[in-house]
Amino acid sequence: MITLKRFAFNPFQMNTYVLSDESGECIIIDAGMQGDDEEAEITNYITANNLKPVMMLLTHAHIDHIVGNSFIADRYNISLSAHKDCVPFLEGADGYASSFGLTLEKVKTIDNYIDENSNIKFGNSKLKVLFTPGHASGSLCFYSPTDKFVITGDVLFNQSIGRTDLKTGDYDLLQKSIWEKLFTLPDDTEVFPGHGAETTIGYEKVNNPFVAIGRE
Ligand SMILES: [Zn+2]
Ligand SMILES: [Zn+2]
């Protein structure tokens, strides 16, 4: 069974998730920690729970989701997996960081390109990859059918959806991703978004004002 721990990091309060199972292996999704205190928060958790980080994943490469990648990669000597369409974002990352008041000393490049055909494995656990563009190119969601949760990045939030006014944003494509990839999951699937509190697929289908059933 997967244990999921959420940290809200950096001025954007971006959710970094540490997923672990009974094997002790863990993966880190969207490493967004900034500064000594936030770095200590996640490494203390990993140490206290005797976890072994084996991989980092990206839901997408907006700056708030990537600023801690180099720290984690160096600290644990692990690789970064993401969709190849994230590459252009990483190439411009230094510039984005300073314009958003974030510190990025070094950009961690992607080691492994993943898409819907990839199987994410750690310990005894597996995650399915869902390709969900629309908020940003290369957006992926990570789904566990056995533990009934999905990590949605900035695609779907508790009663909101990702903005589409940034580079590579596409409103119609985002709606398509949500309806075809997320709203086809079981209603009791827990949703862990890139910002804010968790929710469920069933709740969002009925209550999300941007995508609820019966609305445009
Ligand atoms: Zn984003
Ligand atoms: Zn974000």
What pLDDT is stored for residue 214 in this prediction? 55
Q: What is the pTM of this model?
A: 0.96
pLDDT band at 70 (very low <50, low <70, confident <90, very high): very high
Q: Does residue 215 surpass a pLDDT of 80?
A: no
What local confidence, expressed as pLDDT, does residue 99 receive? 84
Alpha carbons within 13 A on the beta-carbon side of 172: 0
Paired sense of beta strands 14-20 and 190-193, if any: unpaired
Ligand with an atom nearest the CA of residue 10: 2
Ligand 1 center–CA 38 separation, angstroms:
20
d(CA 109, CA 4) in angstroms, rounded, equals 25
| d(C-alpha 136, C-alpha 86), whole Å | 8
pLDDT band with cut points at 50, 70 and 90 for residue 213: low
Q: 88 and 112 in contact (C-beta within 8 Å)?
A: no
The whole-angstrom separation of Cα 211 and Cα 214 is 9
* Residue 167 DSSP symbol: T
Give the mean pLDDT of 46-63.
98
Read off the pLDDT of residues 73-125 as tens digits, 9 standing for 90 and up: 999 999 999 999 999 999 988 888 888 888 888 899 999 999 999 999 999 99
Q: Which ligand is nearest to the CA of 135?
A: 1
- Tell me how far the alpha carbon of residue 99 lies from the centroid of ligand 2, in angstroms: 15
Q: Which ligand is nearest to the CA of 102?
A: 2
Give yes or no for a contact between 192 and 210, defined as CB atoms under 8 angstroms apart: no
Tens of pLDDT, residue by residue over 29-40, are 999 999 999 999
Whole-number Å distance, alpha carbon 48 to ligand 1 midpoint, is 30
pLDDT in tens, 141-167: 999 999 999 999 999 999 999 999 999
Residue 166 Cα to ligand 1 midpoint, Å, equals 9
Give dist(CA 81, CA 92) in Å, integer. Answer: 18
- Å from CA of 45 to ligand 2 middle: 23
Q: For residues 185, 190, 194 and 198, what is the CA-based torsion angle, rounded to 10 degrees? A: 140
